[in-house]
Amino acid sequence: MKQSMMFIPTLREVPADAEVKSHQLMLRAGYIRQNTSGVYSYLPLAHKVLKKIEAIVREEMHNAGASELLMPALQQAELWQESGRWYSYGPELMRLKDRHNRDFALGATHEEMITSLVRDEVKSYKRLPLALYQIQTKFRDEKRPRFGILRGREFIMKDAYSFHSSQESLDEGYDKMFAAYQNVFARCGLNFRAVIADSGAMGGTDTHEFMVLSEIGEDTIAYSDTSQYAANIEMAPVIETYEASTEVKQELVKVETPNQRTIDEVVNFLHVSKEQAIKSILFKVDEQFVLVLVRGDHEINDIKVKNLYGASVVELATPEETKNILNCVPGYVGPIGVNEGVEVIADHAVKAVVNGVCGANEENYHYNNVNVDRDYSVAKYADLRFIQEGDLSPDGEGRIQFAKGIEVGHVFKLGTRYSEAMDATYLDENGRSQPMIMGCYGIGVSRTLAAIIEQHNDDNGIVLPEAVAPFHVHIVPVNAKNDVQRELSEKLYSQMNNAGLEVLLDDRQERVGVKFADSDLIGIPVRITVGKKAEEGIVEVKVRKSGESFEVTTEELSSKLDQLLGN
Amino acid sequence: MKQSMMFIPTLREVPADAEVKSHQLMLRAGYIRQNTSGVYSYLPLAHKVLKKIEAIVREEMHNAGASELLMPALQQAELWQESGRWYSYGPELMRLKDRHNRDFALGATHEEMITSLVRDEVKSYKRLPLALYQIQTKFRDEKRPRFGILRGREFIMKDAYSFHSSQESLDEGYDKMFAAYQNVFARCGLNFRAVIADSGAMGGTDTHEFMVLSEIGEDTIAYSDTSQYAANIEMAPVIETYEASTEVKQELVKVETPNQRTIDEVVNFLHVSKEQAIKSILFKVDEQFVLVLVRGDHEINDIKVKNLYGASVVELATPEETKNILNCVPGYVGPIGVNEGVEVIADHAVKAVVNGVCGANEENYHYNNVNVDRDYSVAKYADLRFIQEGDLSPDGEGRIQFAKGIEVGHVFKLGTRYSEAMDATYLDENGRSQPMIMGCYGIGVSRTLAAIIEQHNDDNGIVLPEAVAPFHVHIVPVNAKNDVQRELSEKLYSQMNNAGLEVLLDDRQERVGVKFADSDLIGIPVRITVGKKAEEGIVEVKVRKSGESFEVTTEELSSKLDQLLGN
């Protein structure tokens, strides 16, 4: 492609409103432009990279046995009413009416639609398993679109769905998809981890998120420093054990702690360690009030509370509710003397606290020398806290460390959530009707593009891995008005095109400094500079990633490129 | 691909609600399913054909110098307000509000968005011309979606836009696109014509529609039986000349014609020829009333009336308006004695009518022996009628014939319609600000798929041309339980895959009759039947299109396929 014909509006300045590197670079390199908040155009360079990512996704989906289809973005409301999500999805689901005043959703995801499609056509166990996918534009009206195309309102997604007649078949399909996802992200040159994620009420390890490691990630990953273990921090179980100290239990005392509300304030004021403090928080678990205790240096993980009760909703009690139930303002809550309507549960670590400190359920007072069983009772001990750096890895191997991640993929065992709600059944070997067992598998294609750039850049611009680069080679004549340089550039351009390389030729009438800066910015792996030595048949090869450059004769060029491009 | 893993829900019955062949066949062959009125899912086979069509489109766009991008479907209302189309587009434009109550349109077309994008980035004549395109899902809330994906509400379109600094450059860009379109449709195996189309107020030959010839087409094409001339019937000028008869002018008489309203009724009743009748219709041209006269055997073409006046809107006068203006009910309207506020215009043919018949502007009465200039006046003569079969071709070569066509493409010189409304300017060589001159070019990608099937089918199903077939070869073992047949089928399958052929292997446990019927239905060009002679290394090759079949040894197979598939 000749650059004069391509639309690559590069910018010299860093756009003021772009916070993260990938967003800045994609604007500067003429990859994207914003149309309105969270809505972007992919300009030709970005489009070429997207097509490369999509081609990788398609190959891996094909290898995983999935076939591609394309469902509509316009989804009649009736489908979402069948699943119940018309009512529960909230404002993120964009809705509209057609000319006949019928309600539609704009596809945020396609579980309902694929379930409806497959239930109408597949009636027998003989047609299962079945795996289908699409690569499609999705719509989600994010409350706070940000970071460019990392969190947009219109984005490109690969969504796959599988249908099975047994749990074993689902497991097998899930494993194939899991492997395909690892291949996709590895081929895209990403440093990523597959992490155990929250599967809601289903629990267990039935869902994984694929996280690209990045400081700007919105999720925290807990991973082992020695094994392959990795989980979303919300999901990592704590397997630490705690031994109670043998110190003598002291007498319980009530102490005045005026305006000392937080754990930090209280332990400083009372000159005790955070490990001695007992953090007590009142939650509303569905309709029941529960007082949750963890050690002062720990944080409560409400997903664990939710899973312990198998609850639908876990929320912090409001100050009003706290006042009503415990007759106390938040900051001074504690487990001593709470009435019988409130269940007290505690993290395992609390059991080992001797002569601890806790709120007195009275404003400006705490208790000291608190000891469980003597001073208060615990209905249940469980793992209720977030894992911390330094904790034992849940698989028993190594210690936990934290990293931030950008979620680019998600594999999920849906089970019969949709097939039961929408009556998607098949006849089994015995002629009995059974709900199909489903899995779903998503990849944020446009987000993957941003994640790749977030991981692959330097001070001069984007540095794309060859597998997803928009072009393999960038030919830049130093002086566009010099006939020898221009002719040699054109000659190399057509030779390389004929050899199957993807080449961008900078045929613009620009100063060489502008051309070099643009070349570095847009991130093509190899640049060939055609300068004064063109007359001798010598050009300069520059490797974008290493910065390494050297001269070669035009005869040597082809074999040199083969080496560099690993072909 | 193995058939057991693909989703091809074929049907034996012709679906009751599918009127046209392509719709019936796409449902029966498991190509598409309707989700709701005018909204379809493209199942794996259709998806593969779409990708082939898209690849052809991309190649031809590339050759025409256009580069691909992807703009969003969500378009902020402000853009459409700038162009004015927010108010003029009507209910076909789907509209919605986001969570902040901001108005959006769902992209029905992208003139506004591309104009906004390019005006923000291109400031100099040095960056022009520029041609950009996208292949994208479009939304148009059709009043009467029909014929399956031929007229849907969500469909796939290739839309290209070009920007120029001179009319000559636009002409050049237009010609390149025109040539690219001819290549696209020829490569898709379509029998089509590029026809001169209505460009609204711009007139002339600045727009062409690409019409696939088909009885179910909604447009009528007038084409020359000897030359390359073809035009939408609405656009074809009439160049016939008419000589008045030399018969003696008779005295004007008013005759009673009770309940004789139509031309047919009146000429039968009065025993005259249709050529002697003068059809008189009252129109409202913008705010002016105009009485239009054509000969009784001709039809008024209101686009010609519109163009004659350079009007925005031409409508039939309502019965109430006719009553008010002419004091007459429709059916008895005529040019004699109309008041001065109404302009009378006539088609050239009317001038030659001697002793004609026309309405008397009085219910149940007509005039006979009507002669122009003596009995009534005509303000203007012009070409005001539709061309008819047998008329001279407008290029002077041959006679006109009619055909029906399905519009699959449209190339259009927009000029400065959008750049002026949206202030998309550039600085010319002299530093003066000028509006960009634009062209736009659309291909209905999903409609092209339907049009191909409409032209390529037989009693047994779809018969796809190789260039767009979902697979090249279909391997069908006769007896799925026979090890020799199954193993030979698998072996041929992997050999052909390795040779770069796209192969579908029917590995289902189905009766051979079912497999053959499905194979014919889905339209793969070559079927290889692996039957009893598998033991001798002999298979049957069947050519879908001709029905021809013959036996070959597995050794000969590869060269035979090369011949058949033109490779």
CATH number for the domain spanning B295: value is 3.90.960.10
Whether residues A350 and A478 share a domain: the answer is no
- Residue A439's beta-bridge partner residues? A162, A413
Inter-residue contact A387 to A236 (CB < 8 Å): yes
Q: Which of B4, B34, B43 to mutate to test the interface with A (most CBs of A within 10 A)?
A: B43
**Interface subset of A 311-350, CB within 8 angstroms of B:** none
Inter-residue contact A534 to A484 (CB < 8 Å): yes
**Interchain CB distance below 8 Å, A72 and B154:** yes
Q: Give me the mean pLDDT over the B27-45 stretch.
A: 97
Inter-residue contact A125 to A131 (CB < 8 Å): no
Please check whether residue B18 lies inside any domain of the structure: no
CB of B84 less than 8 A from some CB of A: no
**Interchain CB distance below 8 Å, A98 and B153:** yes
User: How does the average pLDDT of chain A come out, rounded?
Assistant: 94
Please check whether residue A5 lies inside any domain of the structure: no
Confidence of residue A202 (pLDDT cuts 50, 70, 90): very low
Whether residues B370 and B408 share a domain: the answer is no
A354-399 per-position pLDDT tens digit: 999 999 999 999 999 999 999 999 999 999 999 999 999 999 999 9
Question: What pLDDT does residue B51 have?
Answer: 98
Say if residue A201's pLDDT is above 60. no
CA distances for A444 relative to A185, A212, B75, B471, angstroms: 11, 12, 22, 29
B112-146 per-position pLDDT tens digit: 999 999 999 999 999 999 999 999 999 999 999 99
Beta strands of B22-170 (E only): which ranges? 32-36, 39-42, 67-68, 74-76, 95-97, 103-106, 130-139, 154-164
Question: What pLDDT does residue B16 have?
Answer: 86
* Residues in chain A within 8 Å Cβ distance of B131: 5
The torsion angles phi and psi of B8, rounded to 5 degrees, stand at -130, 80
Whether residues A276 and A190 share a domain: the answer is no
Say if residue A341's pLDDT is above 90. no
Report the distance separating Cα A110 and Cα B20, nearest Å.
29
Domain count, chain A: 3
**Interchain CB distance below 8 Å, A96 and B98:** no
Q: What single string gives the DSSP state of each residue in B177-217?
A: HHHHHHHHHHHTT--EEEEE---GGG-TT-EEEEEEE-TT-
Minimum distance, in Å, between the CA of residue A446 and any CA atom of chain B: 12
Confidence of residue A204 (pLDDT cuts 50, 70, 90): very low
Q: Give me the mean pLDDT over the A67-77 stretch.
A: 98
- Closest to B226 in 3D by CA, of B95, B400, B74: B400
Whether residues A550 and A415 share a domain: the answer is no
Tell me the ipTM for this assembly.
0.90
- Please, which residues have CB within 8 angstroms of residue A237's CB and are 6 or more apart in sequence? A383, A387, A394
**Interface subset of B 151-170, CB within 8 angstroms of A:** 153-154
**Residue-number span of the structural domain to which A65 is assigned:** 18-197+407-453
Beta strands of A154-236 (E only): which ranges? 154-164, 192-196, 207-213, 219-224, 230-232
Structure tokens at B15: 């679906």
Question: What pLDDT does residue B204 have?
Answer: 45
A261-271 per-position pLDDT tens digit: 999 999 999 99
**Interchain CB distance below 8 Å, A117 and B33:** yes
Question: What pLDDT does residue A205 have?
Answer: 53
Handedness of CA B400, B406, B408, B409 (dihedral sign): positive
Amino acid at B113: M
Q: Report CA dihedral (B560, B564, B565, B567) to the nearest 10 degrees.
A: 60
Amino acid at B217: G
Whether residues A188 and A62 share a domain: the answer is yes
Whether residues A502 and A442 share a domain: the answer is no
Size of chain B in residues: 567
Report the residue from B67, B99, B141 with minimal CB separation from A44: B67
* Residues in chain A within 8 Å Cβ distance of B118: 7
Question: What pLDDT does residue B197 have?
Answer: 87
Please check whether residue B531 lies inside any domain of the structure: yes
Report the residue from A6, A96, A99 with minimal CB separation from B91: A99
Q: Which residue has the tokens 């202030």?
A: B423
Report the distance separating Cα B203 and Cα B200, nearest Å.
6
Confidence of residue A110 (pLDDT cuts 50, 70, 90): very high
A482-533 per-position pLDDT tens digit: 999 999 999 999 999 999 999 999 999 999 999 999 999 999 999 999 999 9
Q: What residue of B is the nearest CA neighbor of A45? A: B69
Confidence of residue A84 (pLDDT cuts 50, 70, 90): very high
Say if residue A200's pLDDT is above 60. no
Please check whether residue A514 lies inside any domain of the structure: yes
Report the 3 state secondary structure along B319-340: HHHHHHHHCCCCCCCCCCCCCC
Confidence of residue A299 (pLDDT cuts 50, 70, 90): very high
Quote the distance between the C-alpha of residue B479 and its chain's center.
Answer: 45
Report the residue from B35, B48, B68 with minimal CB separation from A76: B35
Angle between helix axes A44-63 and A445-455 (nearest 10 degrees) is 110
Question: What pLDDT does residue B254 have?
Answer: 96
Q: How many CA atoms lie within 13 A of A45 on its CB side?
A: 31
**Interchain CB distance below 8 Å, A35 and B65:** no
- Closest to A409 in 3D by CA, of A205, A229, A183: A183
Report the distance separating Cα B214 and Cα B455, nearest Å.
7
Minimum distance, in Å, between the CA of residue A131 and any CA atom of chain B: 8
N- to C-terminal Cα distance for chain B?
21
Quote the distance between the C-alpha of residue A378 and its chain's center.
Answer: 37
B394-444 per-position pLDDT tens digit: 999 999 999 999 999 999 999 999 999 999 999 999 999 999 999 999 999
**Quick one: what percent of chain B has pLDDT higher than 90?**
91
Tabulate helix, strand, coil % of chain B (nearest 5). 30, 30, 40
Angle between helix axes B167-187 and B44-63 (nearest 10 degrees) is 140
Confidence of residue B205 (pLDDT cuts 50, 70, 90): low
Report the distance separating Cα A176 and Cα A159, nearest Å.
15
Q: Give me the mean pLDDT over the A196-224 stretch.
A: 82
A361-370 per-position pLDDT tens digit: 999 999 999 9
* Residues in chain A within 8 Å Cβ distance of B139: 73-74
**Interchain CB distance below 8 Å, B130 and A5:** yes
CB of A117 less than 8 A from some CB of B: yes
**Interchain CB distance below 8 Å, B67 and A6:** yes
**Quick one: what percent of chain A has pLDDT higher than 70?**
99
Report the distance separating Cα B445 and Cα B285, nearest Å.
37
Q: Which of A28, A36, A518 to mutate to test the interface with B (most CBs of B within 10 A)?
A: A36
CB of A11 less than 8 A from some CB of B: no
Please check whether residue A462 lies inside any domain of the structure: no
Quote the distance between the C-alpha of residue B271 and its chain's center.
Answer: 41
**Interchain CB distance below 8 Å, B141 and A39:** no
Structure tokens at A251: 């007498």
- Please, which residues have CB within 8 angstroms of residue A293's CB and are 6 or more apart in sequence? A278, A279, A280, A335, A344, A345, A346, A347, A350, A358, A378
Minimum distance, in Å, between the CA of residue A465 and any CA atom of chain B: 21
Whether residues B306 and B200 share a domain: the answer is no
Please check whether residue B511 lies inside any domain of the structure: yes
Contacts A–B by Cβ distance under 8 A: 143
Report the residue from A44, A106, A116 with minimal CB separation from B68: A44
Peptide bond into A72 cis (omega under 30): no
Report the distance separating Cα B74 and Cα A258, nearest Å.
56
Question: What pLDDT does residue B201 have?
Answer: 46
Report the distance separating Cα A2 and Cα A505, nearest Å.
5
**Interchain CB distance below 8 Å, A41 and B120:** no
Minimum distance, in Å, between the CA of residue B101 and any CA atom of chain A: 11
Amino acid at B234: E
Question: What pLDDT does residue B567 have?
Answer: 56
Structure tokens at A99: 């000319």
CATH number for the domain spanning A511: value is 3.40.50.800
Whether residues B231 and B118 share a domain: the answer is yes
* Residues in chain A within 8 Å Cβ distance of B1: 62, 67
CATH number for the domain spanning A190: value is 3.30.930.10
Say if residue B199's pLDDT is above 90. no
Structure tokens at A139: 């719509």
CA distances for A158 relative to A12, A161, A464, B32, angstroms: 34, 10, 22, 20
* Residues in chain A within 8 Å Cβ distance of B36: 74, 76
Report the 3 state secondary structure along A38-89: CEEEECHHHHHHHHHHHHHHHHHHHHCCCEECECCCEEEHHHHHHHCHHHHC
Question: What pLDDT does residue B17 have?
Answer: 86
**Interchain CB distance below 8 Å, B44 and A35:** no
CA distances for A309 relative to A284, A304, A350, A351, A385, angstroms: 11, 9, 19, 20, 15
**Interchain CB distance below 8 Å, A74 and B50:** no
Whether residues A150 and A182 share a domain: the answer is yes
Whether residues A477 and A448 share a domain: the answer is no
Q: What residue of A is the nearest CA neighbor of B115? A: A35
Please check whether residue A393 lies inside any domain of the structure: no
Report the distance separating Cα B510 and Cα A122, nearest Å.
15
Please check whether residue A208 lies inside any domain of the structure: no
Report the distance separating Cα A348 and Cα A292, nearest Å.
11
**Interchain CB distance below 8 Å, B95 and A96:** yes
Confidence of residue A15 (pLDDT cuts 50, 70, 90): confident
Structure tokens at B441: 């070019």
Domain boundary pick from A423, A453, A483: A453
Report the 3 state secondary structure along A218-280: CEEEEEECCCCCEEECCCCCCCCCCCCCCCCCCCCEEEECCCCCCHHHHHHHHCCCHHHEEEE
Inter-residue contact B352 to B240 (CB < 8 Å): no
Inter-residue contact B383 to B350 (CB < 8 Å): no
Handedness of CA A490, A493, A498, A504 (dihedral sign): negative
Report the distance separating Cα A116 and Cα B288, nearest Å.
55
Whether residues A95 and A193 share a domain: the answer is yes
CB of A68 less than 8 A from some CB of B: yes
Least confident residue range of A146-155, B199-208, B508-517: B199-208
**Interchain CB distance below 8 Å, A153 and B35:** no
Whether residues A378 and A515 share a domain: the answer is no
